[in-house]
A and B are shown apart, each in its own frame.
Chain A
Amino acid sequence: MKLDLDKLLNRVDAIPGNFHIAIKVAKMLDDFNVNIQELSKIIGTDQSFTVQLLKLCNSAQFGFSRKIVTVNDAITRLGFKTLKSLVFVVVSKGSFNRPVEGYDLSKGELWRNSLSCAVYSKYLAEISGYKDPELAFTAGLLRDIGKLIIHEYVKEEYDNIINLVNTENIGFSEAEEKVLGYNHSQVGAKIATKWNFPKVLVETIEFHHNPKKANNDCVDKKLINIIHVADSIAMMLGIGIGNDGMMHSLSMDSLENLGIDINSVGIETLISDMVDLNSEIDLLMASIS
């Protein structure tokens, strides 16, 4: 069964939850001349959203002794970039923290996986000298948005997808594309484009399983490599692992691009360090529960 992409995109016409706030805020924060009062006003339009955002800003991981009580205060003390990534965390929870049956993920599993990928991406950005670790966090958080859209179709065609994985010796995403016409990364990128996500996020969504397909027109190939490696390691560690299991491959070029030694010492040291971030992920989850 091939997906009718137009029909599918029309079906998910409405932007879920408060994503429109996040996108507007992200665009405003990219402008150096942003008007802080205007920004506060947009964030403050939704009361429960503001409450959740301030709760997250006041969580232990930021360690402020004096409580942040207004959006203005949050902007001043956390800075634009951190605030932007936290805005995306708050709006993403509604979409990601739900069962995703087609991938055999119960409630909370894709949410933990997405937050883990976000934290791991930020870490990889920092150790590889990438210019904007907060952007890496947001890109890691959102890269699997397509799973939310196509999981029902994956459920229907799961046997055919697995059959192709086994008979043609290909990865799960490639098999998804062969059976459904599109894989979850491509569908995610289409939706993100429709919702006016910044181009850099559309590209990390589209190429997170296949960074080699990212051509020279892409805005930020290093970020694609970061998200690909973070996604792969979260999967390897079994975090929010679904019925696509570990049927994906990790590009050696991406590891090399981030300056990671391609030998067992280099890889195992990286994983050992990344596992130590799990307490931070637990804290993040608890802060937004």
Chain B
Amino acid sequence: MSNVINIGMSQIEIASKPGTVLVAPSLGSCIGLAIYDPVSKIGAMAHIVLPDSAKILKPTESCGKYADTAVPEMLKKLFSEGANKNKLIIKMAGGAQMFNFEKGANVLNIGLRNTLAVKTALTKEGLTLIKSDTGGNKGRTFKLDVQTGVFSVKLIGQNEIEL
């Protein structure tokens, strides 16, 4: 029997208990970022909403909300639980975009900016993304089973596939 932990917007969850599945549901332009150590079987997932806390006029203290603060916070939590930096497997999903029919509407491309910001934040930590499923204009649900280390993604209206 699996124990599902739903991760709402701006939240970060960490899990190592066998049978736990971390789930970032209903991702639109948001990013589900999962970091996993297959040796210690510890996983973390964040539901990131925006790219950059420094750009927000009054950012909230919620680290998981912004890509630049979520990545270091996830790593801090993982390392405190004993995860090994050299073993980490990192994948992400989400970052969809609305249609842009108007001039200047690129400013609304939050999905793309989120995707790029997560990559930048990982690079800053000396880490590399292994795989991702981002872009397009459909919603997604992203999962990580911390026991098996299987990452999966489901686009709305399609079957779930392994990422």
Point out residues on A near B: beta carbons under 8 Å.
Answer: 104, 109, 171, 232, 235-243, 245-252, 262-265, 267-269, 271-273, 275-276, 278
Q: Which of B50, B94, B156 contacts A243 (CB 8 A)?
A: B156
B102:A246 contact, CB within 8 angstroms = no
Known contacts A245-B96, A267-B108; A238/B27 CB under 8 A = yes
Chain B 91-135 near chain A by CB (<8 Å), digits 1 or 0: 000101111111111011010010000000000000000000000
**CB of B43 within 8 A of chain A?**
no
Chain B residues, CB < 8 A from A247: 99, 137
Binary A-proximity of B7-25 (CB < 8 A = 1, otherwise 0):
0111000000000000000
User: Which residue of B is nearest A238, CB measured?
Assistant: B28
- Identify which of A232, A239, A249, A275 contacts B65 (C-beta below 8 A): A275
Contact B139 A272, beta carbon cutoff 8 Å: no
Closest to B10 in A: A275
Contacts of B58 in A (CB 8 A): 269, 273
* Chain B interface bracket (under 10, 10 to 19, 20 to 34, 35 or more): 35 or more
Contact B107 A246 (CB under 8 A): no
Known: A238-B30, A272-B49. A250 touches B10 (CB 8 A): no
Please name 19 further chain A to chain B contacts, defined as beta carbons within 8 Å, in addition to the given A249-B99, A269-B56, A278-B8, sorted by A numbering: A235-B98, A236-B98, A237-B9, A237-B28, A238-B26, A238-B28, A238-B30, A241-B139, A241-B156, A245-B137, A246-B29, A246-B99, A246-B137, A249-B105, A267-B107, A268-B52, A272-B50, A272-B60, A275-B10
- Asked if B82 is an interface residue, CB under 8 A from chain A, the answer is no
Q: Is the CB of A245 within 8 A of B101?
A: no
Give the secondary structure class of B's interface.
Answer: loop
B60 touches A276 (CB 8 A): yes
Q: List 21 A-B contacts (CB under 8 A).
A: A109-B26, A171-B99, A171-B101, A236-B110, A237-B29, A237-B30, A238-B28, A238-B30, A242-B139, A245-B139, A245-B156, A246-B97, A251-B102, A252-B104, A252-B105, A262-B107, A264-B55, A268-B51, A271-B49, A271-B110, A275-B10
Given contacts A236-B28, A264-B55, contact A245 B100 (CB under 8 A): no
What's the least CB distance linking A168 to chain B, in Å? 12
**Within 8 Å CB of B41, what residues of A?**
none
Name which residue of chain B comes closest to A267, CB basis: B107
Residue of A nearest to B49 (CB): A275
Say whether A246 contacts B98, CB under 8 Å.
Answer: yes
- When distances are taken between beta carbons in the complex, the residues of chain B under 8 Å from A276 are 60
Partner of A272, one of B28, B65, B113, B157: B65
B96 to chain A, nearest CB (A): 5
Which residues of chain A have C-beta atoms less than 8 A from B28's C-beta?
A: 235-239, 241, 246
B98 to chain A, nearest CB (A): 4
**Closest CB in chain A relative to B48 CB, distance in Å:** 11
Q: A238 to B29, Cβ gap below 8 A?
A: yes
Among the listed B50, B60, B105, which residue makes an inter-chain contact with A268, where contact means beta carbons less than 8 Å apart?
B50
Report chain A residues within 8 Å CB of B104: 252, 262
Residues from chain A with Cβ under 8 Å of B98 in the complex: 232, 235-236, 246, 248-250
Nearest-neighbor residue (CB-CB) of B102 within chain A: A252
Please, which residue of chain B has its CB at the minimum distance from the CB of A265? B55
